[in-house]
Structure 1
């Protein structure tokens, strides 16, 4: 996914010469992904990963292929939007992987470490993926970025589907559990928090490039973004290697507070060196916060809807990244890099307000989810 959206923009801007059209088609893909992704995951929870993964991948890859052909042969603009929407039926492999870890290490400290590893990998894909896609589309040929993204999706889906030994069994839903997990207040809080965090990520991506160009050193943007990824990855690995010292809702509140506070040094940026330090600090709390969010989703969402619940959380992150890129881009155009930094600070403040307002809801859901575990342990002790 990180390669596809930016790949569509880069491809269409070169083939059609219209940035507005390119951005609109990419937005259609992102919106479709946000709407269709959880529905695909809902089918996964009901029918099993193996039965849904490959058909969904086939639909998405075929649509991407059609989009590339229509872009190349100057098809009407409406065809680009239709195919971009169809491509949004992409399966969420990140959620499926976490669902497998959850079944393998349920109620084990290893689950925390597994989620930490996945968060670090996700962070790397968000840094490496867009850069690789842009490089392929600008250096090789315009369609190369989305084409390689489709090829990697196909290969990854085939390899993942072949791992039948770790595939979680379908958990039958209760008769009264017919609603989507996104209708529950705790999951809405988590999705909104990740949307705020994603907005910061998208803003850092755009503003780092704009600031580096403003300083006359555009190539330094890659270094700045790498520093951001390193800060997040290192903190994620360290956090994942340790047992959580507090209950997850309290950890989340601390993580979001740290995320909000570490955006403030962006106000003091006056060069590439200080920008690198500022984004390193901003990245330190990202991976740990995402790890905690996924841990909370695993605890509060019913097992019969776990993949869908995790997909909603990741969707919040993806929408936030897209929103951050769009809003910060407009802010940079109007007010320069400082306007973009203000977007990151505002997103951090909004995420903190949501975390504070939703703390009691999350703590209550977490406590209720822990009660069956305590009862189970008590029964084992009696035996």
Structure 2
């Protein structure tokens, strides 16, 4: 009995973690994955440290919320710019100067807070805390580059990144609340050490770094501008070819003759090409990307408002030291959700998974208004947290359908920027209501924003659904000989065909749904 029980446990463990272990056994992947997470420590620690320290020294939630809002706005403005720079010039060349700037800004802000300087000085320093390299986007770009043709592998890698991210929040939130109460200098010093260690781990993995646009253009004998135009043209050609195939399949299903099938396919191809040439070639923005960005704005708004409202609620209850553990409950639950989500090769359509998880998170956090005790909020966080990481994983996978590989960091940066802008708006509005009406005023803002965010996300339902039904644009680098090779592999290997149950095998349809 005991042997069968142990073997059963091992089997379950292998099913859950075997795929992750396989990914981490690839050369240098563990180092850059966990290096990125360690370097991201400013995300869970800086905002909470500033909020606790400013409230302690200035006794003003509005000022604390405004400072974190300015930091988030600066990050939102910088993130797309940094994403563009990383894609164009490479990860190392952009990241090193940013790390130096952030370390100087961190020491300056905590020194000024302890010295109780005029608030305008803090507002001048805080924007420099947004000079954080897009570690998460760069890590995901490395995984996507390594697993370009592996749908299940990319899904699991995105889950692995989310698991690592949530582990960071599980550790970072309690540490921030504990260290900031002891000493803001201690909290920022610990964060600075993490940034240095994580940056060294990540940036020294040279072999896994994706080629920059400059390097790719130089290899093709082009300028960067010409290369981007070439990549955009290949992406539009891929979309047009897919539109033709879908139209032909639909015509055949209707029982039309071959001439009508060909005509339907040609018409769909022509319409797709006309649409692609009707706008700016250089822009990666389309209805799908806009819908995702607006959704992420709302997600950031109500979650940030929830964070500052929980801090106020815990302070009123005399339990401020427990705020980090409340947020850690959310992160632990989210980490569990990421592990389970990444262990399964999902057949449910991507847009359905996305909206289900989003609805659970929005509606769950919206119930904080009715919580009377801090432990109730902890329980709600534990229940709904299992859908938090999958929401981000699904968002990252949608992004793979919207932008080509050479601009993936930029696309993810825009998504993160909109989340930051939403977060800044949410924390600023919640801070004003908390100063006037206490934590209940903040939670009223949270509920309103959560419901409004879900409504806005549903408005973009059609655009997001259509986006998930287009081909993954990270596949556009395949030349025709490579496509033919993959077709031959699919013809002799049933496992390849089985990995693409929603469509007949074509490299252009890999990770289509």
Asked if the contact 1:200–1:344 (Cα under 8 Å) also holds between the matched residues in 2, the reply is yes
Asked if the contact 2:109–2:125 (Cα under 8 Å) also holds between the matched residues in 1, the reply is yes
Deviates more, 1:186-195 or 1:291-300: 186-195
Alignment partner of 1:90: what SS? Answer: coil
Structure 2 equivalent of residue 4 of structure 1: 46
Asked if the contact 1:262–1:282 (Cα under 8 Å) also holds between the matched residues in 2, the reply is yes
Asked if the contact 1:11–1:143 (Cα under 8 Å) also holds between the matched residues in 2, the reply is no
Structure 2 equivalent of residue 169 of structure 1: 211
Structure 1 or 2, whichever has the larger Rg, is: 2
1:1-383 → structure 2 map (5 Å cutoff): 1-12=43-54, 21-71=63-113, 78-108=120-150, 109-139=152-182, 141-171=183-213, 172=217, 173-175=227-229, 179=282, 181=284, 183-214=285-316, 217-218=319-320, 221-263=323-365, 265-266=367-368, 268-370=370-472, 379=484, 380-381=486-487
Deviates more, 1:296-305 or 1:242-251: 242-251
Q: What's the TM-score once normalised by structure 2's chain length?
A: 0.65
Aligned CA distance change for structure 1 residues 46 and 295 (closer, same or farther; 3 Å): same
Aligned CA distance change for structure 1 residues 106 and 347 (closer, same or farther; 3 Å): farther
Cα distance per residue 1:321-357 (max 9 Å; x no partner)? 4443333344444445444443333333233223322
Cα distance in 2 for residues equivalent to 1:187 and 1:262: 26
Gap regions ≥5 residues in structure 2: 1-42, 218-226, 233-280, 490-513
Deviates more, 1:352-361 or 1:363-372: 363-372
Q: What's the TM-score once normalised by structure 1's chain length?
A: 0.85
Cα distance per residue 1:220-267 (max 9 Å; x no partner)? 545433332222221221111111222322321222233333345445
Cα distance in 2 for residues equivalent to 1:371 and 1:48: 20
Gap regions ≥5 residues in structure 1: none
Asked if the contact 1:12–1:71 (Cα under 8 Å) also holds between the matched residues in 2, the reply is yes
Cα distance in 1 for residues equivalent to 2:180 and 2:342: 36
Cα distance per residue 1:19-50 (max 9 Å; x no partner)? 65554444332221111122112110001112
Cα distance per residue 1:303-326 (max 9 Å; x no partner)? 121111112222333333444333
Deviates more, 1:371-380 or 1:150-159: 371-380
Aligned CA distance change for structure 1 residues 293 and 159 (closer, same or farther; 3 Å): same
Deviates more, 1:145-154 or 1:257-266: 257-266
Cα distance in 2 for residues equivalent to 1:235 and 1:258: 13
* RMSD, aligned α-carbons: 3.3
